[in-house]
Structure formats: C-alpha cells, structure tokens
Structure 1
C-alpha cells in the first residue's frame, strides 16, 4: 500500500492538533493507529521511553518528525498517521516540531523499502512544508499527498 492508502484506510490524518509537550504530540500521533488496532499501547510507551534514552532519533528535517519503534515493541500491522500541530512542541534536543508522521512496520523491509522513499518524495520540495502547515482539513492533506 502507499502512504496515502494507509492514511485513508486508518483515518489517521489529523490537522491542527493541540499538544503541550512532545510526549503529548507522540501520543496524539499514534492515537489513530491505536484505535484502529494497528499498534498496541506499549508501542507508544516504547517510543516515548526510547526518546528519553536516545533523544529524538526520528527528526527528519526542521519541524518534521517520524516517531517509530521496532516491530516487536507492539506493532500489529503496517501503518502511518499524519499529524499537524497548531503550535510546535519542543523535543528533548531543543528542536521544534509541528508535523509528525507516525509509523509502524511489521518488518524492517517495510521501513526501508516502502516508507522512507515515499516520505522523501513527499518532503523533497521545501514548499510542501508550508502547504502542509497551512492545511486546515484532512481533505487538503489528501490533496497534497496525491
């Protein structure tokens, strides 16, 4: 499946969400996947715990994070969520983030062969960041992803 197909199937695009802390942002990011049975609660806890240990290893670009963990930490199915925040949150390394792509993969092959290339294509253009930040609805994000 493509990134867009995962997002639509799991109803996991949420725009202008409110988060006070980076931990809140991570929980909000994964809530749609938890509700659809794609991950277990322990997956979210593991992402937060690992971030406390190692820092936000999943920040891909200024303002963009793709929190994720290993499959054995509570992944039931492959999935993505796409979240924009009303206001950025500060991660432990001091970086502000307001776009989060939640990611769960049943294997490392899904991670490296499917997800990363799709995300690189999406964010290849600097203008994409501003369009995403300005989006007011799920439909606008879907339009940008097409």
Structure 2
C-alpha cells in the first residue's frame, strides 16, 4: 500500500478544513476512510478515547499528527487520509497540529514496515510543511508525494 495509491483509492485528501477542537480534527481526518469503508466509525471513537487517556501520542513533529488506533478497533483495509486545517487545533497538552495523516493499518507490520517509513520519507524534505500548507487541491499533494518518492 503506497500513500498516494491509498489517498486516490479512498478519495481521502481534504485540504483547508476548519476544526475548532482536536476531536473535530480527528473526525474530519477519518471521515473519508469511514466513507470509503476502510475503517468503521468505532475506529474514530477509539482514537478520540485513547487520546483522552494517553494524550496525542501520534504527534510526529510540530504541526503534524498521524492519528491511528489498533487494527481491532475497526480497520477493514490498510489506508491513509491526508488533511490540512486552515488553523491549527490545540491538544490538551498544548501541542498544535494543522496537518493530519490518518492511518488505518491491518497489523503492526503494515504500521511499522510500510506506513511509518513512507511518512518519514515524505517529511525529510526541508520545506515540506510549507508546500503542504500551500496545497490547494489533491493533485498538489500527489505531486509533493511523487517528488519525495523520486528524490
């Protein structure tokens, strides 16, 4: 499963969204995956519940989160979503996020062996955050991913 293939297949790039709370941001992030059938709505509730218990353990860098939960919480197929917010949301620990990459992984091998390396590779580029925040449409995100893969 590549990031770009999953985003296209699930129609799951949603840019310049408005969210007032981190909970709302999680729902927006996961909505395309619920709609495509990649995850059940219980999966979204489980992410929010776990975040309230543990804090946002899935924040990867300032401004960037990869919300996800365990496969048994409602994953039906490996998939990603890619969301940007007009304004960052603030988590209970004070961290702010405006780029969310939703992850649904059927098992730990996909999570650790495929998903994480693709995200790390994408964010190695120095000005990647600016490029993502400037993106206006899905195609802009696909180009950013292609450039990261081919560099």
TM-score where L is the length of structure 2 = 0.95
CA RMSD of aligned residues (A): 0.6
2:35 corresponds to 1:42: no
Q: Match for residue 88 of structure 1?
A: 88
Question: Aligned partners of 1:101 and 1:119: how far apart in 2?
Answer: 9
Aligned length, in residue pairs: 146
Give 4+ residue runs of structure 1 displaced > 2 Å after superposition. Answer: none
- Residue matched to 1:109: 109
Structure 1: unaligned runs, 5 residues or longer: none
Partner of 1:76: 76
Q: How many Å apart are 1:93 and its aligned residue?
A: 1.1
Match of 1:131 in 2: 131
Distance 2:126 2:60 in 1: 13
Q: Which residue of 2 aligns with 1:66?
A: 66
What displacement does 1:126 show?
Answer: 2.6
Q: Deviations over 1:102-130 (max 9, x none)?
A: 00011110000000000000001230011
Alpha-carbon distance in 1 for matches of 2:121, 2:73: 28
Q: Post-superposition shift, 1:43?
A: 0.3
- Per the TM alignment, residue 61 of structure 1 is displaced from its structure 2 partner at its CA by 0.1
Q: Separation in 2 of the partners of 1:135 and 1:10?
A: 19
Q: Which residue of 2 aligns with 1:54?
A: 54
Deviations 1:17-59 (A, max 9, x none): 1101000000000000000000001000000000000000000
Q: Distance in 2 between matches of 1:133 and 1:60?
A: 16
* TM superposition score normalised by structure 1: 0.98
